[in-house]
């Protein structure tokens, strides 16, 4: 994980996706102070592991204070070095600094994302703005820039190797991009903007989380009629955990989606759907619309101050796409075909509803329910028929096996050997070709205080520079609903795809083999590429035949059912694509403008009308709950990156197919060594060209989604 003043933007450090980037004076201590536990070097196996069993939230403020003092001291030691300025005593020294604060933020990230509670949120609200301002001050210190600039100006005379030169150039470019050339008063203004943004990011995240901790309580058995037995049991268990009698439907995607797919009660589908899509948009204390407007205003002010036309140009300066138009061009190539497919899907659903004499017109809360009816009619495939074959534990074994077959990796469970932050977290020792390369944490289940969605993070990244810390500590975090009463946890194909997706991120970082920490982080529009590639192996014959076994009988999934899955491979791709792309397009439209939006609701409505959003659908993430955009800068003007990455993913999957075997070890090793292991040591588009021999071709993503390919005829 990069230090805040390294080549990456400050917010890259945060595990929680929140910018943690007030000035705090380094006060000389009267006597030596003991280093807080959360900054101390980790002990135990695997080059040391986080001491989850000893961490107390109340200790964070003191740890943050100590971390800032230590960071300031490390930084001053570099700046005050009286020897001639060299790459080693400047860039290398910076790369070797900050290990203790990285340990602290690894622990903090888990508490703010996986273990949030009122105490954590109060600490977050107080300290993230302070940390933001402090680290921005370090980054903007003119003494630091002058040292880097001196080296940058002489770079051709320093005898640097390719990686050192790239690190130096990226460090210099990032400093310039983020304000190093500003005047003193402008730097003060920038720090104030970043500090206020950190505050607003925290506000947004906590408001959405508060709405996601609400639930809809069902009290009549008729309310859960038609729902799968295992799902009903999980809703009952959720209610009991809250001290309620009945069935509790949490206001999170993992609970809402299966309810919408299965409940014949249209009134309840609408009620639950409205609660879900209204998160952050209820006109109450947790309403986020004003927060979003303030974030947009601050982002535009920052972009202008830094010399960029707007936030989109600022955020995309260090991406593969480089500029907003290229991202929009890709999205608009796919959008018309996706909308056309939605119209076909709606027509099919309306026909089923009419045949059933439902007397309705398809609305957004009907889409998933009637889509399942169409799936059954068209392909004789019922999602609930599939679920017993997709046991969570079996799918975990499947993803491990696939990584072994492709990359020579092995995962041996050692839960109980190292501390964990929650009793249900599992751990696994990771080896590649017999050598230990990592420790993998798996936090699979939804619970109160855990943010929604799924994500991967690392507690420690690999680098060869320090001579240690080559054992990666990686974590996958999901929000599956556990099986009730000790029964196996059954997941949908979509959930299994999510499992493989997040594991693809872990594979990426576990296979990292870079010298310089500052060249470990890849551009935003490359990040999702390895994870999306990994999804492809889920539905391969080997994985299905080996791991898709019935939860009760143990029988493997019948070939007839596999054939139905394959036949329906592109089913609902219109819905999935429009749901995602509408969110991505609005993200870019919102940030690629000179005047920030003040009326968020009005913008969302008008922008969706402008692009022709089907009335039967809503965005995957409506703006009031769009954590990717407003709990930090991470994916802002960057949500397009999933499509950008999927374009490379589809093209890469074509490479495996062209090899004649999707398990081809030579292709897998080229993919691993050229694209996974190399971090950002070379330009990522150049690295892809080296792997594939050309740029990625958009036709493969169109084919993957079942859309017409311009210039090609269909049979």
Q: Which positions are catalytic?
A: 502
Q: Write the CA distances from 242 to 209, 426, 446, integer angstroms.
A: 17, 25, 14
* Residue 164, number of CB atoms within 10 A of its CB: 19
Phi and psi dihedrals of 363, rounded to 5? -120, 170
Instruction: Report the run of H or E that residue 216 belongs to, with start and end.
Output: strand 215-218
Helices assigned H by DSSP within 433-485? none
**φ and ψ at 310, to 5 degrees?**
-165, 180
- Secondary structure letter of residue 522 according to DSSP: P
Q: Give yes or no for a contact between 61 and 127, defined as CB atoms under 8 angstroms apart.
A: yes
Handedness of CA 271, 275, 278, 281 (dihedral sign): positive
| C-beta of residue 676 within 8 angstroms of C-beta of residue 512 | yes
Q: Which residue has the tokens 């309306």?
A: 350
CA 524 remoteness from chain centre:
10
Cβ proximity of 235 and 218 under 8 Å: yes
Q: What are phi and psi of 148, to 5 degrees?
A: -65, -40
What CA–CA distances, in Å, run from 189 to 18, 71, 194, 297, 495? Answer: 20, 23, 9, 14, 45
DSSP 701: H
Collapse the DSSP code of 443 into the 3-class scheme (helix H, G, I; strand E, B; otherwise coil) and give the result: strand
- DSSP assignment of 578-647 equals HHHHHHHHHHHHHHSSSS--S-HHHHHHHHHHHHT--TT---SS-GGG-HHHHSSSTTTTTTTHHHHHHH
> What does each C-alpha distance from 552 to 226, 289, 674 come to in angstroms?
21, 48, 43
Run of H or E including 344: helix 324-355
């Amino acid at each position: 994980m990069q230090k805040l003043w390294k080549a990456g933007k400050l917010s890259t450090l945060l595990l929680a996706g929140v910018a943690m980037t007030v000035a705090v004076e380094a006060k000389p201590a009267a006597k030596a102070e003991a280093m807080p536990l959360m900054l101390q070097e980790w002990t135990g196996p695997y080059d040391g592991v986080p001491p989850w069993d000893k961490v107390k939230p109340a200790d964070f403020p003191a740890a943050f204070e100590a971390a800032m003092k230590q960071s300031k001291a490390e930084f001053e030691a570099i700046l005050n070095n009286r020897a001639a300025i060299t790459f080693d005593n400047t860039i290398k020294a910076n790369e070797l600094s900050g290990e203790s604060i990285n340990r602290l933020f690894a622990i903090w990230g888990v508490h703010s994302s996986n273990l949030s509670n009122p105490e954590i949120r109060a600490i977050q609200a107080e300290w993230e703005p302070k940390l933001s301002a402090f680290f921005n001050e370090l980054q903007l210190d003119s003494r630091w820039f002058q040292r880097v600039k001196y080296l940058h100006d002489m770079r051709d005379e320093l005898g640097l190797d390719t990686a050192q030169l790239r690190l130096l150039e990226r460090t210099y470019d990032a400093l310039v991009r983020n304000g190093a050339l500003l005047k003193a008063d402008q730097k003060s203004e920038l720090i104030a903007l970043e500090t206020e943004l950190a505050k607003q990011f925290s506000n947004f995240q906590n408001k959405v989380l508060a709405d996601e901790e609400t639930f809809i309580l069902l009290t009549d058995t008729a309310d859960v009629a038609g729902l799968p037995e295992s799902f009903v049991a999980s809703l009952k268990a959720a209610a009991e955990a809250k001290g309620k009698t009945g069935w509790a439907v949490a206001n999170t995607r993992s609970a809402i989606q299966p309810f919408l797919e299965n409940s014949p009660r249209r009134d309840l589908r609408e009620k639950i759907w409205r609660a879900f899509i209204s998160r952050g948009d209820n006109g109450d204390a947790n309403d986020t619309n004003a927060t979003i407007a303030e974030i947009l205003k601050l982002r535009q002010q920052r972009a202008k101050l830094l010399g960029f036309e707007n936030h989109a140009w600022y955020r995309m300066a260090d991406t593969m796409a480089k500029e907003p138009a290229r991202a929009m061009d890709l999205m608009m190539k796919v959008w018309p075909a996706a909308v056309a497919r939605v119209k076909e899907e709606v027509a099919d659903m309306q026909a089923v509803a009419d045949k059933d004499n439902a007397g309705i017109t398809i609305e957004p809360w009907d889409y998933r329910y009637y889509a399942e009816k169409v799936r059954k009619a068209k392909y004789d495939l019922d999602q609930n028929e599939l679920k017993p074959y997709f046991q969570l534990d079996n799918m975990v074994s499947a993803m491990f096996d696939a990584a072994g077959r492709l990359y020579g990796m092995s995962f041996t469970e050692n839960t109980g050997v190292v501390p964990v932050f929650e009793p249900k977290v599992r751990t696994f020792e990771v080896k590649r070709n017999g050598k230990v390369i990592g420790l993998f944490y798996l936090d699979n289940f939804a619970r109160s205080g855990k943010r929604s969605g799924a994500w991967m993070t690392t507690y420690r990244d690999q680098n060869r520079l320090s001579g240690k810390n080559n054992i990666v500590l990686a974590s996958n975090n999901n929000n599956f609903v556990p099986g009730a009463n000790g029964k196996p946890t059954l997941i949908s194909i979509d959930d299994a795809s999510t499992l493989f997706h997040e594991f693809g991120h872990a594979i990426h970082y576990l296979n990292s083999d870079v010298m310089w920490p500052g060249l470990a982080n890849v551009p935003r529009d490359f990040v999702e590429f390895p994870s999306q590639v990994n999804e492809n192996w889920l539905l391969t014959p080997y994985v299905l035949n080996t791991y898709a076994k019935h939860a009760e009988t143990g029988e493997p999934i019948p070939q007839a059912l596999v054939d139905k899955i394959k036949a329906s491979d592109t089913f609902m791709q219109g819905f999935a694509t429009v749901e995602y792309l509408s969110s991505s397009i609005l993200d870019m439209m919102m940030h690629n403008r000179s005047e920030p939006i003040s009326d968020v609701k009005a913008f969302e409505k008008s922008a969706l009308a402008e692009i022709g959003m089907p009335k039967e659908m809503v965005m995957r993430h409506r703006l009031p709950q769009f954590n990717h955009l407003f709990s930090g800068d991470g994916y802002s003007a960057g949500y397009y990156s999933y499509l950008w990455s999927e374009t490379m993913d589809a093209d890469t999957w074509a490479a495996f197919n062209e090899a004649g075997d999707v398990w081809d070890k030579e292709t897998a090793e080229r993919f691993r060594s050229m694209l996974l292991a190399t971090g950002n040591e070379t330009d990522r588009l150049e690295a892809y060209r080296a792997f594939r021999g050309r740029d990625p071709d958009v036709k493969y993503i169109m084919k993957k989604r079942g859309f017409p390919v311009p210039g090609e005829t269909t049979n």
